[in-house]
Structure 1
Amino acid sequence: MLPVEDDPRDVAYRTLDAFTAENEELDKLLASLSYDVWSTPTPSEGWTIARQVAHLTLRAQDAIEAMTDRRRLLLTVERASPSPHHDADYGGLALANRHPETLLTQWREAREQFESTSHGILEGDISSLPGAGSERLVTIATAYGLMRTWAHAQDIFDALDRPRMPSERLWYVADLGIGMDDPRFTAHGVLPLGQMECRIELASPIGALWIWGDPTAAARLRGTAEDFCLYVTRRRTRWEVELTATMEVEAWMSTAPMLLAPAGRGYGPISA
């Protein structure tokens, strides 16, 4: 559900700018930490701060490889699942044991390479997909990267008990959550939210109203963008967020986090 009415290149560049800003926010926090703090447990069971950063590093490296391979890029975007070559349960654990300074440097290098690869594709220096198809997929891959960074950063902010100011970049996280169309929904007997006759109204961090769907639909979902994003990425339980939804939407609400944020890869549920 990322914007399609604008020029695809403009959308891609805006998404990259948001991705950069999201990572810079986390970088600023990590750079301020003493090395001993990196071993602090986070709300995702079994994951320290270092493990969270290791996961982000490996996923960025995986995305870089996928960006120049049409088949892998499509698979990465459609499934939004970790590559078997960079499984965070194994590679992430080993990488997390490195010195925090080394890990921080590797994460920075990985995300900077992802950004440069994305710019290279958009500027025609790297061949991936022809024309707007390439721009569209770069946009989606970058938005998923932004969502991943935001969610794992939330774990780190929570582990440190630090306040976090929500930003308008939450739009990308919310849009991906709403637009998710996973075939596993069918297995659960649930219609994807983007296919429902539904109106979604989320209050942005600056007080604007973000709207998706049919304005005349009886099915509704309302709340703040922050609460919605915390829920669909499994950073908060249903009872910890103030979201109101009709019965049809509640069925989707109970299923979506399991698909968007599978447990066991740093997305473990937080105890109520």
Structure 2
Amino acid sequence: MIDYGLDLSAVERDRALPDLVTEGDELDALVSAAQDWSRPTPAAGWTIAHQIAHLAAADANVLVAVRTPEAFDATPKDADLEAAAGAGEPRSALLERWRTGRAEVAAALRDLPLDQAFPWLGSDVTVRLMVPLRLMETWAHGQDVFDTLGVAHRPTARLRHVASLGVEGRTLSFSAAELPIPAEPFRVELTGPGGETWTWGPDDAAQRIRGSALGFCLRVTRRRALSETDLTAIGEDARKWLEVARVFL
């Protein structure tokens, strides 16, 4: 089971859900204006259409998990095959399917009790985790599209959700790399898009990471190599974390 340790309250959900909707709307505006969805993105073998098809498929899976959990298949499907199948649809049909699905997901996550568990890939999850997970995936796959089209992906305060997942995903990062999980506490200090400082962990921790929130989010979603970010690490374990960092399996 993946435990990110997030504790989303009802008030925080009311704030996070509009961020999820806005993230999808921003990507929607970008791809709606793009004439050629067959352009290859940084993900090997994936075009813009593949990226949107993947997001649509993930939203459909969320809806099955929430509405008919007994029918949910916890075995991860082949993402490449799913994306390829969706990418073969007419552009207008795929766009409408993605729009409808993400709207239904937002509504379902708004109405579901915060602590009601439903199945997901390898674990049971609640709204507390699924809202930031959907936002993170939308942002990350959106980054691929922004990169493909040569459009600057303006950082916003919505990155706080992605950064929080990245911080709480430290154990996942070491486990996925088959490395011992450090017992020592970590301090993460990130500069948000407005110049504000976002912090996690005790102030006196010896293992420390500093840099921009954008750089950290690009790293934990594996959209940039460590050398392409402004992140710095103090401590051997902190450096290793940045080398293996991830926020999904």
TM-score by length of 1: 0.79
Q: Per the alignment, do residues 261 and 186 of structure 1 end up closer, same or farther by CA in structure 2, a change over 3 Å counting?
A: closer
2:139 alignment partner, one of 146, 150, 154: 150
Matched letter for residue 53 of structure 2? A
Query: What do residues 157-197 of structure 1 show as CA deviations (whole Å, max 9, x unaligned)?
Result: 000011121000001101001101339618722326xx641
Query: Partner residue of 1:45?
Result: 44
| 1:213 corresponding residue in structure 2 | 201
Q: Give me the CA root mean square deviation.
A: 2.7
Tell me, yes or no, if structure 1 residue 253 matches structure 2 residue 242. Answer: yes
Between the two proteins, the alignment pairs up a number of residues equal to 238
What secondary structure sits across from 2:152 in the alignment?
coil
Match of 2:107 among 116, 128, 134: 116
Whether the 8 Å contact between 1:199 and 1:220 is mirrored in structure 2 is yes
Unaligned runs of 5+ residues in structure 1 are 74-81, 131-135, 263-272
Aligned to 2:13: 12
* Conserved 8 A contact 1:219-1:245: yes
Alignment CA distance shift 1:148-1:117 (3 Å): same
Aligned-residue identity in percent? 34
Q: Would you say 1:223 and 2:194 are equivalent positions?
A: no
Counterpart in 2 of 1:30?
Answer: 31
Q: How far has the Cα of 1:248 moved from its partner?
A: 1.6
Tell me the secondary structure at the aligned position of residue 42 of structure 2: coil
Q: Secondary structure at the match of 1:95?
A: helix
Distance 1:184 1:97 in 2: 37
Residues 190 and 252 of structure 1 are in contact (CA less than 8 Å); yes or no, is this contact kept in structure 2?
Answer: no
| Contact 2:19–2:158 under 8 Å retained in 1 | yes
Task: Give me the whole-angstrom Cα distance separating, in 2, the residues matched to 1:45 and 1:220.
Answer: 33
TM-score by length of 2: 0.86
- Tell whether the 8 Å contact from 2:39 to 2:48 is kept in structure 1 after alignment: yes
Point out the more displaced range, 56-65 or 147-156: 56-65
Q: Do 1:67 and 1:128's aligned partners in 2 also have CA atoms closer than 8 Å?
A: no
- Counting only pairs closer than 5 Å after superposition, residues 112-191 of structure 1 correspond to structure 2 as 112-122=103-113, 128-129=116-117, 137-180=126-169, 181-182=171-172, 185=175, 188-191=178-181
Q: What displacement does 1:27 show? A: 0.8
Q: CA offsets, 1:190-218, max 9 Å, x none?
A: 326xx641211000000000000010111
Q: Which amino acid aligns with 1:14?
A: R
Match of 1:79 in 2: none
Q: Which structure dedicates a bigger proportion of its chain to helix?
A: 1
